[in-house]
Structure 1
Amino acid sequence: MKNRAILIILSLLLFIIVTPSQAQTYQTGSYQTGVGIRMGNTGGISVKHFMDGRHAVEGILSARWGGIGVTGLMEWHKEAFRTEGLNFYYGFGGHLYLGRYQRYRRNYYYESRGAIGIDGILGLEYHLPRAPITGSLDWKPAINLIGRTGYHEGGLALTVRYTF
């Protein structure tokens, strides 16, 4: 099951990367940086900064499982459905989690002090016209490579940002 999910994610990312883009006609809107709240399974504080009209970096600071996590993502944006202000985005990055996982699993006690892994992201973002607000809905799966290893589906998250 895990291998199937990883294969699907990698196939989607490969399809998106090789699909031709029309970056010369696309603009992200009138903001360069946005700061806000991410609500969902991997919630926290989100900061997104556009390096140009198509490329952005996003940082997410989250508190989960009695610890703190930091995620960094590189994202590519494209206009969605030929609608001004509505953007499709995708990307990848990594995360570092510092804290303690504690649980019983198959009759033994499991504890880890942190995790390091890779993340993917797929989503839609809408920049409200004439307002410094964006809203986005995305899915951010992750694979822990060190620490509590394994695939985490991530779930959906809603992010609301103030832009400037």
Structure 2
Amino acid sequence: MGGRFGSPLFGASIKGFLNDRSALEGITSFGSFGIGITGLYEYHLYLPGVPGLRPFLGGGAHVATGRASAYNPYADSQFSDIYAGLDGVTGVEYVFEDIPLALSIDVLPVLNFPGRIGLWWNAGVSVRYVFK
């Protein structure tokens, strides 16, 4: 578990592995315009000769509330709106061998609905404590 720092949101991240390659990640996001909760399934690949480095890809869904702003063009008014959508994810994670720390960088293309349907890009860096 740890923190996720990105554009346009920052928040908390928790990730648990189901097996050697499959993981579930939950993200609670906070920004100047609202809050959101995202759930992702991630499939991890292993690169031969590069221990600890794991590219991943997957998808999931989110629900959020927010005000319309330059960072949130999908809210329909200056007041709070609730919206949901589907998320993709691709990135790379590095798990240190000697210390209980994982660093990852990812990109999430997000399809928001209901209301004004549109594609939104989210990117972030996560720093998580690893329970071994």
TM-score, normalised with respect to structure 1: 0.69
Of structures 1 and 2, the larger Rg is shown by 1
For structure 2, the residue ranges without an aligned partner over 5 or more in a row are: 71-75
Q: Where does residue 30 of structure 2 map in the other structure?
A: 63
Alignment match, 2:14: 47
Give the count of matched residue pairs: 124
Given that residues 64 and 82 in structure 2 are in contact (C-alpha distance below 8 angstroms), is that contact kept between their aligned partners in structure 1?
Answer: yes
The residue type paired with residue 40 of structure 1 is: G
Q: Give the one of 108, 127, 132 matched to 1:160.
A: 127
Unaligned runs of 5+ in 1: 1-34, 104-108
The structural deviation recorded for 1:147 is: 3.5
Which residue pairs with 1:86 in the alignment?
53
Q: Which has the higher helix share?
A: 1
Output the CA distance in 2 between the equivalents of 1:80 and 1:124: 11
Give the root-mean-square deviation of aligned CA atoms: 1.8
Q: Higher strand fraction: Structure 1 or Structure 2?
A: 2
Matched, 1:38 2:4: yes
Q: Are 2:54 and 2:92, in contact at CA under 8 Å, matched by a contact in 1?
A: yes
Any idea what the Cα deviations from partners look like across 1:40-63, whole Å, max 9, x if unmatched? 113210000001111000000011
How many Å separate the matches in 2 of 1:133 and 1:51? 19
Q: Is residue 93 of structure 2 the alignment partner of residue 125 of structure 1?
A: yes
- Alpha-carbon contact 2:33-2:69 (below 8 Å) kept: no
Kindly, what percent of the aligned residue pairs are identical? 38
| TM superposition score normalised by structure 2 | 0.85
Paired residues of 1:142 and 1:151 also in contact (CA < 8 A): yes
What secondary structure sits across from 2:68 in the alignment?
strand
